[in-house]
């Protein structure tokens, strides 16, 4: 890549990990405190402080919402130090605010980045249908097929009994019929209360007991998951899911095709994207923040699609430096 004003020419994920570490460290002080808004705000504040130091000219495509609702990390905000490369950014300072507030597993601080103009903007659509699985299942991932039929096809493809297929699904009333269909096919359902980015990572991993992610979840999480999947392998399809007639009309008026199944390349068009996630609470993908008196430890997943590198970063953060980095206080 020769045009450094347009294209990243270094592994920005190694700089972005400092951003997700900051978000995770700040949010971790509110784990189990029952206040998801405070936990989210702590992560936003810390991440916004740290991301300003990254050498990039970034625009938030997927953020905390519109400017009036989110004073920081809002959609359209320019972040970074303003120097090249020019990039799109998707950020979820705290994926799993309820998980954090309740002290439950699998809360993450997440950021993804790709070349300018390459990230899908979902417009008015807050939710999308999703179906994700490993790279050997690419041709089987079809939202027009009944989920029970997909489950049976996965079992046949992987030469396993259908009873050994596990599908992770958000525990929501809208999924009751699909959950029943999966179980009628003979497969297992793993219900989660929140956190479908980490669930998508489980679904595409060849080291996980999960075979598929299925259901309707957040569109922002879908774009972030697509960036991660482009880095780590696997596949996902998504389709915009308007919540009501007003949102459907707004999407159609804006030119969105609500029948189209979006691939990871539709959601993140760039072949050079970056992903970083740091655990807030312990989960299947990452260990959460641990405090040890004079220091804290974090575990992060750092990936780049162009090089195919996937790193686990275990970091120790000195107590005296944490407040300057992320506003984190001990005790």
Known binding-site residues for substrate equal: 95-97, 127, 172-174, 194-196, 218
Q: Does residue 326 contact residue 315 with C-beta atoms inside 8 Å?
A: no
Q: Quote the radius of gyration of the chain (alpha carbons, Å).
A: 19
Closest by CA to 279, choosing from 105, 29, 18, is: 105
Within 8 A by CB and 6+ apart from 296, the residues are: 25, 28, 289, 290, 316, 317, 319, 322, 328
C-alpha 71/C-alpha 310 separation (Å) is: 33
Query: Which amino acids are annotated as binding site for Mn(2+), given as ranges?
Result: 40, 64, 92, 95, 221
Within 8 A by CB and 6+ apart from 79, the residues are: 48, 51, 52, 54, 56, 58, 59, 60, 73, 89
Let me know the angle formed at the C-alpha of 135 by 130 and 138, rounded to the nearest 5 degrees. 55
Query: Which amino acids are annotated as binding site, given as ranges?
Result: 40, 64, 92, 95-97, 127, 172-174, 194-196, 218, 221
């Amino acid at each position: 890549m020769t045009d450094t004003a347009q294209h990243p020419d270094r592994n920005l994920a190694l700089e972005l990990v400092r951003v997700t570490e900051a978000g995770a460290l700040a949010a971790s002080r509110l784990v189990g405190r029952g206040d998801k808004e405070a936990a989210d705000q702590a992560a936003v504040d810390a991440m916004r402080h740290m991301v300003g130091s990254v050498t990039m000219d970034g625009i938030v495509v997927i953020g905390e919402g519109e400017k009036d609702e989110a004073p920081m990390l809002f959609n359209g905000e320019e972040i970074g130090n303003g120097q090249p490369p020019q990039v799109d950014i998707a950020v979820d300072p705290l994926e799993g605010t309820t998980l954090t507030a309740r002290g439950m597993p699998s809360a993450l601080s997440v950021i993804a980045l790709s070349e300018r103009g390459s990230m899908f903007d979902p417009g008015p659509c807050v939710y999308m249908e999703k179906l994700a699985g490993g790279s050997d299942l690419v041709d089987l991932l079809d939202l027009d097929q009944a989920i029970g039929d997909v489950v049976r096809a996965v079992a046949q493809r992987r030469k396993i009994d259908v009873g050994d297929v596990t599908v992770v699904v958000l525990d929501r009333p809208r999924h009751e019929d699909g959950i029943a269909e999966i179980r009628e096919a003979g497969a297992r359902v793993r219900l989660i209360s929140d956190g479908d980015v980490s669930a998508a990572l489980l679904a595409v991993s060849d080291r996980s007991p999960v075979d598929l992610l299925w259901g309707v979840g957040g569109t922002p999480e879908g774009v972030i998951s697509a960036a991660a999947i482009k880095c780590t392998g696997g596949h996902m399809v998504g389709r915009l899911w308007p919540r009501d007639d007003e949102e459907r009309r707004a999407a159609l008026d804006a030119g969105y095709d609500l029948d189209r199944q979006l691939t990871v390349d539709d959601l993140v068009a760039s072949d050079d994207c970056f992903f970083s996630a740091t655990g807030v609470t312990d989960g299947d993908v990452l260990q959460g923040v641990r405090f040890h008196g004079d220091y804290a430890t974090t575990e992060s997943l750092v990936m780049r699609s162009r090089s195919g590198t996937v790193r686990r970063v275990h970091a120790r953060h000195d107590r005296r430096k944490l407040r300057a980095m992320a506003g984190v206080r001990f005790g």
